[in-house]
Every structure is written in C-alpha cells, then in structure tokens.
Amino acid sequence: MSHSIPTPSVPAPDIVRCAYMEIVVTDLARSRAFYVDVLGLHVTEEDDEAIYLRSLEEFIHHNLVLRKGPVAAVAAFAYRVRSPEEVDAAEAYYRELGCRTERRSTGFTKGIGDSVRVEDPLGFPYEFFYDVEHVERLTQRYDLYSAGELVRLDHFNQVTPDVPRGRAYLEDLGFRVSEDIQDSDGVTYAVWMHRKQTVHDTALTGGDGPRMHHVAFATHEKHNIIQICDKMGALRISDRIERGPGRHGVSNAFYLYILDPDDHRIEIYTQDYYTGDPDNPTITWDVHDNQRRDWWGNAVVPSWYTEASLVLDLDGNPQAVTERDERSEMAVTVGADGFSYTRSDDDGSPEGFKLGSQL
C-alpha cells in the first residue's frame, strides 16, 4: 500500500463538472468515422491535427478532443471550475501537493482559455479551466437529432491500484461518494464520486494504473442505446461492442460499452439518479453481489476488468503503470469462485414478493 496523500492547507478549487477529455488517436480519419459517422457527435472545429467534438446539449466548445499522435492514450481529464479565480486555486492546490503543474493563459486546446494542467498524485493528467468559447447549444435542433443521439458528457472512469488512497484525495478535492463496491474484509474495489448532481463525474476502478477505463456520454432514453447497438450491427462493427447493453446495479443506469478504433472504451449511459442533497445516502455494494455491475446478472467480460488506455504526462509521454497489489474484482468474481450470490437473506427484494425464495 502506498502512503496517503496529504491534505493541502489551501482551499480546493470549486469544481463544477467533468467537461471534456482529450485523447490521442493514431488515425484521425478512422476515429472521425467512429465518433462522427457512427456515434453522431457534433464537430465544432477540426484541422489536420485534431477534431473538437461536442454532444447535442453542450454549449461549451467541446466535450472530446481527438488529437493525432503516435501512441493511443489520454492527454487530459478536464474539469470546469466555477470562476476564473478557481483556476488559480487549482494551481496553488496542486503546487502544495508537490505535483507538476503547467499554466497556459491561452489554453491547451482550441476554444478554451486560461487553464492549468497537472500530473495529479495518482499520475493522471487533470486540467482545470473556466474560460471557454460558447457555441450553439443544439438542444432543439431536432433536425439534427439522431436515433442514438449523445446529449451530454456524463463522466470519466479511472483505473488506479489503491482505491481508498484515490478516494481520500478526491474527497479532499471536493468530490462526494455516491456508491462503492467493497467486500466483508474491507477491501474497496471501486468508488463513484460526483461534483454535479448525478451519480458521478469520475469513478475509480481498482486495477493497474494510472489508466483511463472509459469516458461516458449520456443519451435521453434506453431506446437510444438500443439503436446504437442496431446501427453497429448494420455496419458490421458489432465486434466493437464489448459489454452490454444492460442495466447497472451501481448507478442504476442503462449502459453500453464500446471500443473506438484505438480501443479507447466509451460508455453510453442513461437514467441514473439525483444526488444533490447534502445527505444523499451512499450505497455500498458487496463485491459478491452478482447484480452490482449488471442488474440482470449478466457476467462481466474479463477484458472489461483488464483493458484500459494509457495516460500521458505533461510532456506527452505515457505514464508508467503500477500493478494493483490488493485482490482484484475479476479474480474474486469472474468464474466459479463459489462466493458470489444473486439472492441472500437480505437481498432487498420487495416485501410480499419473495419470488427468489421459491425458485
């Protein structure tokens, strides 16, 4: 186990929400076909080096930057902060943590102004910005609305070896925990954390890291996700569907996981719940509950636990990956381990409808 991360004496920056991710792709045209032609994200701007994409309801310049490069990886997990001064606060906060920081008054990408990027204590490239170019919000452009329309950026998911260490760091940074997965020995396998009033802006998944597990876009309804599956089948790219569609236990969201041409994992997500009250209850799932990751009890494919994208340092080089030394969720739940369950004495099934006891 690594040492805990100290709490800085200066205030944490006031983070509003996850705002965009910058990913490096090895073939810009191939990635454009996936994100624009298949998924229907909207192009704000593009050139020979990068494509700036946004979801239908977004009013800031972009939610996803595809940047051409030699190694598929993530260059930035970017958060919007509440005011220009909060960018100063972020810089001071990470400096006190002893992290490498880089400030650019003109931004790191098109469309975004004064920002700071940091190599955070977990090894992730985080960015904080306020100043951003506004663009047309396409909410009522129903002429552009596709059957599988992606309407918002919902969250990031990060792989890190020591989940409690990461959780404490993100709680100091002002995130609140909505749900987690533990076992009876107190091992934490994953945690979901939010700033906006949804289940999460980012989640930590236990595994070899730092790596990016997925970035998630929201649709309005379940049927939008079914349409994406049907379209990928029609295009004969069903092999890029990795997991789902299904209903999560954690977050309650309806979900689909797909892989882009560089194997960056994208989640399509809808119908989680409101978490904005200060006393929003935290839900803890037993790692052996077969319905935690899929409410219908469908097994999680092993690749979902093992595969993830590299992340870059501020020089653009991949960060070294550290192995998780605690037990892994895949090892304790995939296959016949004899310890997982669908029904227990106190499984939360509705009173008077204990069907499980009859089957």
Interface with Fe ion by CB under 5 A: which residues?
157, 216, 267
State the nearest-atom distance from the C-beta of 249 to Fe ion, in Å: 13
C-alpha to C-alpha distance for 29 and 13, rounded to whole angstroms: 37
Rg (CA), the chain: 20
State the nearest-atom distance from the C-beta of 214 to Fe ion, in Å: 6
Judged by beta carbon, residue 163 or residue 216, the one nearer Fe ion is 216
Judged by beta carbon, residue 41 or residue 204, the one nearer Fe ion is 204
C-alpha to C-alpha distance for 189 and 253, rounded to whole angstroms: 19
Judged by beta carbon, residue 99 or residue 283, the one nearer Fe ion is 283
Judged by beta carbon, residue 75 or residue 203, the one nearer Fe ion is 203
State the nearest-atom distance from the C-beta of 192 to Fe ion, in Å: 8
Enumerate the β-bridge partners of residue 15: 81
Query: What is the number of other CB atoms lying within 10 angstroms of the CB of residue 327?
Result: 14
State the nearest-atom distance from the C-beta of 91 to Fe ion, in Å: 29
Judged by beta carbon, residue 24 or residue 203, the one nearer Fe ion is 203
Paired tokens of 77:
């997990």
Contacts of 99 (CB under 8 A, 6+ apart): 118, 119, 120, 121
State the nearest-atom distance from the C-beta of 201 to Fe ion, in Å: 11
Judged by beta carbon, residue 273 or residue 341, the one nearer Fe ion is 273
Q: Are 161 and 207 in contact, with CB atoms under 8 Å apart?
A: yes
Paired tokens of 31:
């990635």
For residue 182, which amino acid is it? Q
Judged by beta carbon, residue 129 or residue 217, the one nearer Fe ion is 217
Q: Are 14 and 82 in contact, with CB atoms under 8 Å apart?
A: yes
Backbone angles phi, psi at 303, to 5 degrees: -60, -30
Cα–chain center distance at 300: 17
DSSP codes joined into one string, 223-263: HHHHHHHHHHHHTT-GGGEEEEEEE-STT--EEEEEE-TT-
State the nearest-atom distance from the C-beta of 179 to Fe ion, in Å: 11
State the nearest-atom distance from the C-beta of 202 to Fe ion, in Å: 9
Judged by beta carbon, residue 157 or residue 319, the one nearer Fe ion is 157
- DSSP code at position 143: T
Judged by beta carbon, residue 61 or residue 211, the one nearer Fe ion is 211
State the nearest-atom distance from the C-beta of 246 to Fe ion, in Å: 12
- Identify which of 173, 179, 212, 11 has the alpha carbon closest to the alpha carbon of residue 79: 173
State the nearest-atom distance from the C-beta of 292 to Fe ion, in Å: 13
State the nearest-atom distance from the C-beta of 233 to Fe ion, in Å: 23
Judged by beta carbon, residue 157 or residue 188, the one nearer Fe ion is 157
Torsion, Cα 279 181 247 304, to 10 degrees, reads 140
C-alpha to C-alpha distance for 359 and 357, rounded to whole angstroms: 6
Could you give the 3-state DSSP secondary structure of residue 167? helix
- Identify which of 15, 19, 12 has the alpha carbon closest to the alpha carbon of residue 132: 19
